[in-house]
A and B are shown apart, each in its own frame.
Chain A
Amino acid sequence: MYRRYHIPIKHVPGRYAPIGKYIVIRNDFCINCGQCEIACLYDVHKRREDDPRKMANPISERCVGCFRCIKTCPKNALELRENEEYKKLGYKDWTAEVIKTLWFEAETGRVPVSGAGYKGKFAGPDYDSLWTDMSEIVRPTRDGIHGREFISTAVFFGPRNMILNFDNLDEEIDKLPVPLEIQIPFVLMPPSFGPVTKKFLKILYEVASNVETLVIIDYNDFKNEDIPTENIILRINAENVTEDALTKVKCIELAGEPRQIIEVTKSIRAIHPKLIISAYLPGKIFSPTFDLNVLLKMINAGVHVFHIRVNGINDNESHNETHIMKIIRKVHTFLVENNIRDAVTIMASGDIKLAEHVPKLIISGADLVALDTTLMIALECPLCLDCINGGLCKREIDKIDENWGIDRITNLLASWRDQLLEILGAMGMREVRRLRGEVGRSISYEEEEKMLEEYISGGNVE
């Protein structure tokens, strides 16, 4: 029977008090007239319960910054400040705004919707230098998340047959493993920081099996824990691949030097032709001197997936000056030029902060992404990163309720999928696989700016 793919959501409040953007300060000029209480729609200002003659301290986390109380106060007794605690949220370019957005998505599972136009900078580097296109009148369009049309977000994980040779059809197909179809282009993986406990891993594979995707689990964890083998990509160091790992799962991911990966892949392929093999390629490999032909050698040796990880948090080996979009684009273009793009799946991970980054990476040439840091943030991690220096988790993520964690992460994925659908609907696309490498359906800030500048300096158009 036909089953329409859908991720159920529920409202899952956080365990900690919300952190507001503003601090409302009531200074000594206050005459307790209560005008602010009448003015505020968000109940920031209240009279004291024990002594109603006086105003209570403002409840700042409810403030939306509308300025109405400030404009109303007859004594100029109210001031607004930026909340220091809010500003401290996050880490480097994982700004407080990013963290708050992810918390909202994990709590509600909804697409963030707000009024008024875009408030940010005109454009910026990297992700912010790309706009996605839309369809209008002259091209067919799609209904998006509120419509009746179904837009597929399913992607393949694994190799596709490049050529079908009909003389020996059975044999050709037999040579390759069957690619897995996952319903969303997000694979889950534990981040390289924070309390990655047994419970956390359990949450990840529960979510993965609920929403029909995969989760990357390290072999050491796999060995020690009682983890089911479905929906698992087993991460193994290429140096110590053991036979028992290879027989239990459908996909493995090899970490190590490219040379090593090639050798190990060859030997594995000889014994386990049905195993999907992913190569873990951290950002530091992609130095300016890196020879992309190594990737071709990998494909020839039997690698089916490239997992390209750039600039993950607390992850020195994935560090690269070049932005992940550019690296993915380079690899994708190289493989297309060599007529071998469909033989592999490209999985991007690391610097993926917001839902909007997923379509942008897919446009750059990735098939899917692997999420890690965002999953930890969904569990209310503020990215304080004390854990890296051996500190205890301030947000006690090791003590969470398992179902709470499952629901939060499911919500996040549902919200991200819906946002991907918004983009696909606006572009008039019926499935996410069609978006891959569609640079022509994106708008580059650099190009547009150059055109505008030329237009302006060129003077009047004839």
Chain B
Amino acid sequence: MTEAYLKSQVSQFKFPKIVRAPSRFRVMPSKFKIEITEDCINCGLCAELCPYGVFSRPKGYNFLNKPKSYNCIGFECEQNDFYCVKNCPTNAIKISYDSTYKLLGDYRWTPDLILATWIQSETGHPPKNRSIEYKVGASGGGFDKIHFKIDKNVDPIPKEEIDTSIELNRRDFGPKITIPIPWYGGGMSFGSISLNSMLARAIAAKEWNTFTSTGEGGYPPELVKYKDHIITQDATGLFGVREETIKYARIVEFKYAQGAKPGLGGHLLADKVTPEVARMREAVPWRSLFSPFPFHSVYSVEDHKKHVDWIKTVNPKALVAVKVSTPTDVDMVAVGSYYAGANIIHLDGGYGGTGAAPDIAKKNIATPIEFAIPKVHKFLLAEGIRDEIVLIASGGIRTAYDIAKAIALGADGVVIGTADLVALECARCGRCESGRGCPIGIATTDKELSKLIDPMWGAQRIINLYNAWREQLVDLLSKLGLRSIRELRGRTDLLYYER
């Protein structure tokens, strides 16, 4: 594939429009808490001074609006002339850290990361508020300990010349597919998330000319409209996999395992199996569905090849992606998939997201993705087949910087799951398994709760997030002196590991 061809592909692509998509709720949690005490004389000076829009006074009114704390940039504002606390004539303004905010999120998705993702989904750009750490989490390992070395002497590349596209087929058979951003959406089934959330993801994938995946819960007819941007997943439960759903797809994905529950099949607990979901999965309503593990027809690479051949018989035009988890011998699995004729090998690391998984599995089985990428990348290089297969990583990729790090470690691109949902205002309370327990209306099949998500609004939020990420990637590549994201692959010399 020539660079010129890729460039032409990308130049034809029109980037989706960024429209502000504010939160569905009145209040955004914020890092800082602004209080106006009783000493306030409603002079309105703060509303005149603050450039971030924290304070405002409706025209013709005497009283100030309730301060919009989440716009505040915090204590670093002290050095500015317009710092409200100093300027207030009656010392009526107080800034403090919000203690509620600290309880948002967890070590992997810190409050800052969640809030930053919400801001990016709202505005379509990286957060301007420098007090929010939007690059790394606080897990104390993996991506959170890997950083980029930015050499100040490198001449930055003009941003408009930078190309973030990757190709998804580098073998000499099958159609060529190029996506303008180095990621696509991971499998989330109908049942694990609501139809509206699936639609939001599908519309966003269409706008960005990338993909999202059906997950293992069948292919709802509402999604057929977006079939050119939807991967049909063929998982161990084979729920809803039919000849026509395989024929719809440009990419068919075999899900052997999932990072959050490696070695275990999919879990869909009884409360989520509504009659609609059951019909789609050809199962009994209100009964828990546990997919088997593994495919009971695949116990070797030869069996795996047989599977790939079935798909290619049904739909010769489809690319085949193989989603596997990360055992110690993941490199062998990857090479096996290559010889079976796969186009994409998708590694899902141990800390990936899930709709429901045993806690013991999430924490303790299989390696995190950071350790698996180098292993597979090196092995494929040694086998001389690295440039024929596309290596996609997933499982705990939260930010644009995680994407860049995964690529610098040796992946071609990544798959995004949880971040899509955080864009839809998920706060990671972890009640996805419970059916009617998702307060945001994402991981639910309840008719009422599903209505909380408007697909168009959701799609815009995801589109915005993707745009913000792309901007960050372009910025990073420019600083690193690279013209394309493909040049970043395996460039561990640009990284350093923090001890």
Q: A residues touching B (Cβ–Cβ < 8 Å)?
A: 22, 39-42, 64-68, 70-76, 79-82, 101, 111-123, 130-141, 143-144, 146-147, 354-356, 359-360, 419, 422-423, 425-428, 441, 443, 445, 448-449, 451-453, 455-462
* Chain B nearest CB, measured from A9 CB (Å): 15
Among B333, B362, B496, the residue within 8 A (CB) of A138 is B333
A73 contacts which chain B residues (CB < 8 A)?
26-27
B450 CB within 8 Å of chain A: no
Known A133-B327, A141-B293, A457-B496: A66·B431 in contact at CB below 8 Å = yes
Q: Which residues of B contact A143 (CB under 8 A)?
A: 292-293
Whether A138 pairs with B374 at a CB distance below 8 angstroms is: no
Inter-chain pairs besides A117-B259, A422-B264, A458-B492, 7 sampled, C-beta below 8 Å? A79-B99, A81-B103, A136-B324, A136-B330, A356-B364, A426-B262, A460-B491
The answer, among B103, B356, B363, B378, for a CB contact under 8 Å with A115, is: B356
A144-B263 CB under 8 A given contacts A79-B100, A122-B142, A460-B490? yes
Partner of A425, one of B106, B107, B264, B432: B264
Q: CA separation between A70 and B102, bound complex, in Å? A: 13
Which residues of B are at the interface with A, using a C-beta cutoff of 8 A?
23, 25-29, 66, 99-100, 103-104, 106-109, 139-142, 144-146, 256-257, 259-260, 262-265, 267, 269, 290, 292-294, 298-301, 304, 324-325, 327-330, 332-333, 336-337, 350-368, 370-371, 374, 377-378, 381, 395-396, 409-410, 418, 426-434, 436-440, 443, 449, 490-493, 495-497, 499
Which B residue's beta carbon lies closest to that of A81?
A: B99
Instruction: Report the separation of the CA atoms of residues A303 and B377 in the bound assembly, to the nearest whole angstrom.
Output: 50
Question: B377's contact among A80, A147, A425, A461, by CB below 8 Å, is which?
Answer: A461
Chain B residues closer than 8 Å to A76, beta-carbon distance:
27, 66
Tell me how far the C-beta of B135 lies from the nearest C-beta in chain A, rounded to whole angstroms. 16
Name the B residues within 8 Å of A133 (CB-CB). 327-328, 365-366
Instruction: Given A132-B365, A425-B264, A426-B262, check contact A111 B358 (CB 8 Å).
Output: yes
Q: List 17 A-B contacts (CB under 8 A).
A: A40-B439, A65-B429, A67-B427, A73-B27, A76-B27, A80-B100, A115-B357, A115-B432, A117-B362, A118-B362, A122-B351, A131-B350, A132-B364, A138-B300, A139-B329, A428-B263, A448-B371
Are the C-beta atoms of A356 and B371 separated by less than 8 Å? no
Residue pair B100, A456 in contact (C-beta under 8 Å)? no
The complex places the Cα of A452 from the Cα of B332 at a distance, in Å, of 19
Q: Which residues of B contact A355 (CB under 8 A)?
A: 360
| A461 touching B378, Cβ below 8 Å | yes
With contacts A41-B439, A141-B293, A443-B328 taken as known, whether A113 is within 8 angstroms of B363 at the C-beta atoms is no
Residue contact A451 to B374, C-beta cutoff 8 Å = yes
Given A72-B25, A118-B108, A131-B367, verify A66-B263 contact (CB < 8 Å): no
Determine the chain A residues whose CB is within 8 A of the CB of B104 once the complex forms: 65, 67
Q: Which of B256, B428, B429, B436 lies in contact with A137, CB distance below 8 A? A: B256
| Contacting pair B333 A137 (CB below 8 A) | yes
Q: Is the CB of B327 within 8 A of A134?
A: yes
Are A119 and B107 within 8 A (Cβ)?
yes
Residues of B within 8 A of A452 (CB): 370-371, 374, 497
Let me know if A114 and B107 touch, CB within 8 A: no
Residue of A nearest to B444 (CB): A41
**C-alpha spacing A187/B409, complex, angstroms:** 46
Chain B, interface SS category: loop
> Does A448 contact B492, Cβ atoms closer than 8 Å?
no
Chain A residue contacts of B290, Cβ below 8 A? 146
Residue of B108, B298, B367 near A119 (CB, 8 A) is B108
Minimum CB–CB distance from A357 to chain B (whole Å) comes to 10
Chain A residues whose CB sits within 8 angstroms of the CB of B327 once the complex forms: 133-136
Question: B304 — which chain A residues lie within 8 A by C-beta?
Answer: 137
B300 adjacent to A137 (CB under 8 Å): yes
Min CB distance B410 to A, Å, is: 8
Chain B residues lying within 8 Å of A65, measured Cβ to Cβ, are 103-104, 427, 429
Q: How far is the CA of A79 from the CA of B101 in the complex (A)?
A: 9
| Closest 4 A/B residue pairs (Cβ) | A115-B432, A426-B263, A122-B141, A71-B25
How far is the CB of B375 from the nearest CB of chain A, in Å? Answer: 8
Q: How far is the CB of B95 from chain A (nearest CB, A)?
A: 15
Q: Is the CB of B324 within 8 A of A144?
A: no
The residue from B29, B301, B378, B443 contacting A67, defined by CB atoms under 8 A apart: B29
B429 touches A456 (CB 8 A): no
Q: Which residue of A lies closest to B25 (CB)?
A: A71
Assess A114 versus B141: contact at CB under 8 Å? Given A22-B103, A456-B492: no
Residue of B nearest to A424 (CB): B263
| Contact between chains at A122 and B144 (CB < 8 Å) | yes
> Which residues of B lie under 8 Å from residue A461 when comparing CB positions?
377-378, 381, 410, 490, 492
Docked complex Cα distance between A80 and B98 (Å)? 10
Instruction: Find B23's partner among A71, A79, A445 (CB 8 Å cutoff).
Output: A71
List, in ascending order, chain B residues with CB within 8 A of A422's CB: 264, 358, 360-361
A66's partner among B298, B354, B439 (CB-CB below 8 A) is: B439
In angstroms, how far is the closest chain B Cβ from the Cβ of A96?
Answer: 14
CA distance A66 to B436 in the complex (A): 13
A66 pairs with B427, CB closer than 8 A: yes
A73 to B, closest residue via Cβ: B27
Chain B nearest CB: distance from A69 CB in Å?
9
- Cα–Cα distance between A130 and B328 once the two chains are bound (Å): 12
B492 near A455: Cβ-Cβ < 8 Å: yes
Residues of A within 8 A of B352 (CB): 117
Are B351 and A117 in touch, CB under 8 angstroms? yes
**Interchain nearest-CB distance for A46 vs B (Å):** 16
Most chain-B CB neighbours within 10 Å: which of A79, A122, A453?
A122
Across the interface, do B354 and A117 meet the contact criterion of CB distance under 8 Å?
yes
B326 nearest in chain A by CB position: A134
**Chain B CB within 10 Å, residue with most, of A22, A114, A121:** A114
> A126–B443 Cα gap in the complex (Å)?
35
Q: Which of B26, B329, B363, B410 contacts A71 (CB 8 A)?
A: B26
